[in-house]
A and B are shown apart, each in its own frame.
Chain A
Amino acid sequence: NAGVTQTPKFQVLKTGQSMTLQCAQDMNHEYMSWYRQDPGMGLRLIHYSVGAGITDQGEVPNGYNVSRSTTEDFPLRLLSAAPSQTSVYFCASSSHYAAEKLFFGSGTQLSVL
C-alpha cells in the first residue's frame, strides 16, 4: 500500500531551470493537490484537481503548472525556477467530498540557487 508517492525527495536547481515534481497515488482518489510549506507560513495550496482533466489554482499558483491526464498522477511543473520557489512541496490526495483524511506524500525539498 504505497499511498501517495512523491519524487524526487531532494532537488537543487539553478535559477531559470525547469523541472517536474512527480506525484502518484494508488488509492483511486479523485482529489489531488499540491502544497508548499515555508517556515512560519504553514501549508499553502498551489494547484488542485478534482478529477482527471480538471485542474484549478490555489492560493499561490504563480510560477507553477499542473495537468491531470490520469486519476493516479498529478505532476507539478516549474517552468523557470526562482529562488522564491525554494520550499518543501507536498502532494496530497483524498476521495471526493471526504473533508477529512487528506493523504500526504513525504515531500520534496527543493532548493533554487
Chain B
Amino acid sequence: DQQVKQNSPSLSVQEGRISILNCDYTNSMFDYFLWYKKYPAEGPTFLISISSIKDKNEDGRFTVFLNKSAKHLSLHIVPSQPGDSAVYFCAASAPPSGGSYIPTFGRGTSLIVHP
C-alpha cells in the first residue's frame, strides 16, 4: 500500500523544454514534501522541498507545486538540461511523534533529457 506514488517510471524530454514530474500521496497527515535526485552509482541528493503551508517553492530552474486538496505535487524543471538526466524521488513526511521526521519515498521517475 503505497502512500507516495510516482506513477510514471520514466519521462523523456528535449533539452530546453519543461520537465514535469508528478507525485501523489494518500496520507493526509503528510505536511512536508521533498524531491531527491539520484545519478547512477551515487546516493540520492536533496533537491527541493515544500511545506504544506505553501503551494509553491522555487529554486533556480526547479519549482515544486503542491495541491493539498488533490494530494498531488509536481516538480517542474525549466529549462531542462542533459545534466538533469537522473532518477527523481518524491518523499513525504508526517509530523514526528517523539522522534525525527521519517520520510516515505515514492518509487522514482527516471528522467532523460535529450540534447
Contacts and interface: CB of A to CB of B under 8 A. Distances in A.
Nearest to B108: A42
B115 interface: no
B36 interface: yes
Given A104-B43, A106-B43, A96 B100 contact: yes
Contacts of B101: 94, 97-99
Given A42-B89, A42-B108, A100 B34 contact: yes
Interface residues of A, number: 30
A41 interface: yes
A100 B49 contact: yes
Contacts of A104: 36, 43-45
A99 B49 contact: yes
Given A40-B107, A43-B105, A99-B32, A4 B100 contact: no
- The interface residues of chain B, by DSSP majority, are classed as loop
- Which of B41, B43, B93, B108 gathers the greatest number of chain A CB atoms within 10 Å? B43
Interface residues of B, number: 25
A100 B46 CA distance: 7
Contacts of A56: 99
A107 B42 contact: yes
Contacts of A94: 100-101
Interface of A: 4, 30-31, 33, 35, 40-45, 48, 50, 56, 58, 90, 92, 94, 96-107
21 contacts: A31-B99, A31-B100, A35-B105, A40-B9, A40-B107, A42-B89, A43-B44, A48-B100, A90-B43, A90-B44, A94-B101, A98-B100, A98-B101, A100-B32, A100-B46, A102-B34, A102-B36, A102-B46, A104-B36, A106-B42, A106-B43
